[in-house]
Every structure is written in C-alpha cells, then in structure tokens.
C-alpha cells in the first residue's frame, strides 16, 4: 500500500488558502499533507511564501485524521536545531501525533537571508550535527551539546507528543544518504530505488499540472515551474528568484511538458506517479502547479486519480 500526500506549496498560495486546501485534501482521501518551508518563492510568478510553521499549526487544528509533515525544513541556518525540535514537538502535540519532521540541507534561496551560505560538505556536516540535537530532544531527553557548529548549554522540551515525532531526511546522493541512515526514513528528490532503506518509510514528490485545457496547463507550468529541470546542485546554490529566472530563461514549454504531465489525461499523471511507486516509495506527495487551481485538482484527485492506484 502506498500512502498518497497532498503538497501545501508555500511558494504558490497564501497561508489561509494553504490551510483550506489541507482540509480539502483530507476530505478528498489523501493520507498526508506535506508543506514546503521557504523564505522566498523559486520564481516571482509564484508570488507567495508564508511562514510554514504557522500554517502547520492552523492545519493541525483544522484537520482531524490527515498526517502532516515538512517536506522539508532546513535546521541549520534560519533555525537553530533546538528551535526546530520545539517547533516539531508543538505541531506533534497539536496534531495529536500526526506530524513527521522532514529535514534537508537547504537551499541558498532561503537560508542566505541570515548570512553567508556554507559550501556543500559543510552543510552536510551541519545537518548531521543538527540531528544529534533534534532527535534526543524529541525523545524527551535533556540535551547538553558543544559541537563544531552548535552549542546547547542545556535544553529540554516541555511539550512533546507521547507518540514521538518521526524524523526523515531528504537525500540527493551518497553524501546525504549517510545522514539519512541516522533518521527514521528517506525523502528522495528522484525515483531512485537505491535510496530506499530497508524497513523505513521512503518519500517521493511528483509535480503535476492538471486542468481541462492542456495548452493552458503547459503555459502555467512554464511560467511557475520552469526551474524544475535544474539539477539539485544548481538549485541549492542560486540566491534569489531573479537568479532562477535567469538560469531558466532558455527553458521552453516543450521542455517543461516533457518532465511534468499537463492537462486532463489521467493516464499521463498516473505514469508520472507510477515512477515513484515502482521505485519503492511508500509515500508519494502530489504537487499541483498553480495556487488558484488547487480545489479543482483535489476534486479530480478524489474522483479519478487516487482510484487508479
């Protein structure tokens, strides 16, 4: 059995709309709702970037059964690891144990707002050390830590869910896979079965652009998601939406449509999702492109798409 998720994409909708859509996703039969945690959108055309943790708190209170998760948050620059642990524990309590903390090494796009962006190997070291702080705090332990990047003289979380908070880590290759082995599961940016760990949840995410007019969907995908074809080493380094705009100026509508299913043909979307299912993903989050097109997507997913699996 594969668990299907709905993506609350902060870059393309405001905070109230994101919560409303999480409620709709629960009604449509989705198993979980995943939220991105950005300070900036990838492109200015997307037009939004509210604070993900406020949205999660509201979604935890507004929903009843659907699981929630970050996909993903970076615990190394904008947030101190001890603060991330407190955020996660609070959402875990508010959701009555429905929250999973997804972590990653981050992108310059969001993290450079508080200072210089570290090089790749240093980012991975910082993420591994952050886990040494976050996981014991979420287990109810008192943490005293003096490390290469973080100091925690003494910290304890006073509100922690009895069920705990699972922690999963996003991976893009061998360097980050070693860090993920320290966690409860893996989030993959590509449908690569070699990233799956035995007996652990394996998360993937699929971008879709559903709509009744394929031509309009192709235009929307180009306008808002042309950054999608950049390789992760590039995506992690670019500093702002203007840089992503310049880096994708050569991308065509055909390029985007070749990578992202566009239009009403359910079989196109099924094939895109199937790549992650066949790679062994236990959880697949679906991401509908276009903030104003979420309600129609969720109704279509309920009546047509989810029943194909």
Residues involved in catalysis: 38, 107
On the 0-12 / 13-18 / 19+ scale of CB atoms within 10 A, 108 is buried
- Is residue 147 a contact partner of residue 86, using CB atoms and an 8 Å limit? no
The alpha carbon torsion through 227, 230, 236, 238 (nearest 10 deg) reads: -60
Query: What's the Cα-to-Cα distance from 141 to each of 64, 82, 157, 160, rounded to whole Å?
Result: 29, 12, 8, 10
**Could you tell me which residues are beta bridge partners of residue 169?**
103, 186
- As a whole number of angstroms, the distance between CA 114 and CA 219 comes to 35
Q: Which residue matches tokens 């995943």?
A: 34
- Is residue 68 a contact partner of residue 98, using CB atoms and an 8 Å limit? yes
Residue 287's φ and ψ, nearest 5 degrees, are -120, 110
- Is residue 165 a contact partner of residue 89, using CB atoms and an 8 Å limit? yes
For 12, half-sphere exposure in the C-beta direction (CA atoms, 13 angstrom radius) is: 19
User: For residue 160, what are its two tokens?
Assistant: 């922690």
User: For residue 98, what are its two tokens?
Assistant: 């429905």
| Helix, strand, coil in percent for the chain, rounding step 5 | 45, 20, 35
Nearest residue to 299 (alpha-carbon basis) of 27, 97, 13, 74: 27
């Amino acid at each position: 059995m594969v668990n299907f998720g709905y993506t609350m994409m902060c870059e393309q909708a405001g905070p109230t709309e994101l919560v409303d859509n999480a409620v709709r996703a629960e009604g449509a039969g989705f198993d979980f709702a995943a939220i991105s945690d950005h300070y900036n959108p990838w492109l200015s055309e997307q037009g939004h970037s509210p604070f993900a943790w406020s949205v999660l708190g509201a979604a935890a209170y507004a929903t009843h059964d659907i699981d929630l998760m970050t996909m993903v948050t970076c615990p190394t620059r904008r947030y101190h690891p001890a603060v991330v642990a407190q955020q996660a524990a609070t959402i875990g309590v508010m959701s009555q144990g429905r929250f999973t903390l997804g972590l990653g090494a981050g992108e310059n796009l969001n993290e450079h707002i508080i200072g210089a962006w570290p090089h790749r190997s240093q980012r991975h070291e910082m993420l591994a050390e952050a886990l040494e702080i976050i996981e014991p705090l979420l287990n109810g332990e008192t943490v005293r830590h003096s490390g290469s990047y973080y100091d925690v003289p003494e910290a304890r979380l006073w509100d922690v869910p009895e069920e705990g908070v699972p922690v999963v880590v996003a991976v893009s290759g061998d360097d980050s896979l070693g860090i993920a082995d320290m966690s409860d599961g893996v989030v993959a940016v590509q449908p690569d079965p070699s990233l799956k760990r035995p007996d652990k949840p394996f998360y993937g995410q699929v971008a879709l652009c559903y709509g009744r007019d394929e031509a309009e969907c192709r235009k929307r995908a180009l306008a808002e998601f042309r950054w999608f074809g950049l390789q992760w080493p590039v995506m992690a380094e670019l500093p702002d939406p203007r840089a992503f705009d310049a880096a994708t100026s050569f991308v065509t509508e055909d390029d985007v449509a070749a990578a992202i299913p566009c239009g009403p043909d359910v079989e196109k979307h099924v094939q895109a999702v199937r790549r992650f299912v066949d790679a062994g993903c236990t959880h697949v989050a679906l991401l509908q492109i276009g903030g104003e097109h979420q309600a129609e997507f969720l109704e279509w997913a309920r009546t047509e798409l989810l029943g194909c699996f």
